[in-house]
Structure 1
Amino acid sequence: MSSFARLGALRAEILASHRALLDAERLAYERLFGRIPGSTELLQLAIHDPWFGWLRPLTALIAAMDELAVDEEPDDLAVRVEQFRGSARDLMQPDENGTEFQQRYFELVQKSPDVALAHGRLSRLLDDVR
């Protein structure tokens, strides 16, 4: 598999995990504060509201991957893909005693079937992406 293909596969699974986490957090937010009218409002909340702040490290990882994906043919692409893989593996570890992200991720892997499924797919890919 080419480095660009590995980057694309990794990005797709990370995006799926991000979507599952965002959907789960949206439901929890709406239970407390009422319905979020649309995707524009959700985006604004995801960017600015502290409720969603714990997701920002994952969002930053996706943005960095996107920047690399638009680069013509970087000389260090294989190395960078491996770095992203390592960063994703470190971040996406559900751990009730870990970082804020890992703690919240742990909770949602336990509560949300969609998050648990996305976690399983991403974990398999992180083990196989070499």
Structure 2
Amino acid sequence: MTRSDSPLQALEEASRALRGLLGVVIQVERRFGREQSPLALLRQITEDPEWAWLRPLYQLIADVDHAVHDGDLPVTEVAAIGSHATALLSGVGAPIEQAFLERYRDLLQTAPEVAMAHSTALQAIRKLPPESDNEAERLHARHQWAMRCKHRREGQQR
């Protein structure tokens, strides 16, 4: 398997598509807001309770980007990431992020650019390896991915 068709490469492409989706969502959400510096916008998105609904998406992107940077990610975890991302964007599967889905679905229905970025992200996610048909293997991979994210976040807080 070459680098261009590796699961890690597919994960990098999915991450780029998710970042593109996040950028479009932020752009649409800011249409009626006041102009501000990139730093002020970042602070608003990460600290303002009105933007908390977006946290699951940017947290997923940060987790994926760290995993890609670290490399050496088992294919089973790459598949678990794909499942998690699909569940987040569609509301099917893993635990549902209700606040995210409510606002996100509104944007999907009212902003064509969000719908297009959503489609691009799902296409990239579908290129990730599928999860195992074996439930125990699937659950183990999801647990491993969740623990990887948890340990990374705990390390950042110290």
TM-score by length of 1: 0.84
The total of aligned residue pairs comes to 121
CA shift, 1:6, in A, is 1.1
2:78 match: 81
| Alignment gaps of 5+ in structure 1 | none
Structure 2: which amino acid aligns with 1:115?
V
Asked if the contact 1:94/1:105 (under 8 Å) is kept, the reply is no
- Describe the shift of the 1:43–1:20 C-alpha distance in structure 2 as closer, same or farther (beyond 3 A): same
1:93 match: 90
> Which protein has the larger Cα radius of gyration, Structure 1 or Structure 2?
2
CA shift, 1:11, in A, is 0.4
CA shift, 1:126, in A, is 2.8
CA shift, 1:41, in A, is 0.8
Distance in 2 between residues matched to 1:43 and 1:99, nearest whole Å: 23
2:25 match: 21
Matched residues, percent identical?
26
1:47 match: 46
Deviations 1:76-128 (A, max 9, x none): 2x122111111110000169xx7111111110011111101001112223334
1:61 match: 60
Local SS of the residue matching 1:92: helix
Q: CA RMSD in A?
A: 1.8
| Alignment gaps of 5+ in structure 2 | 130-158
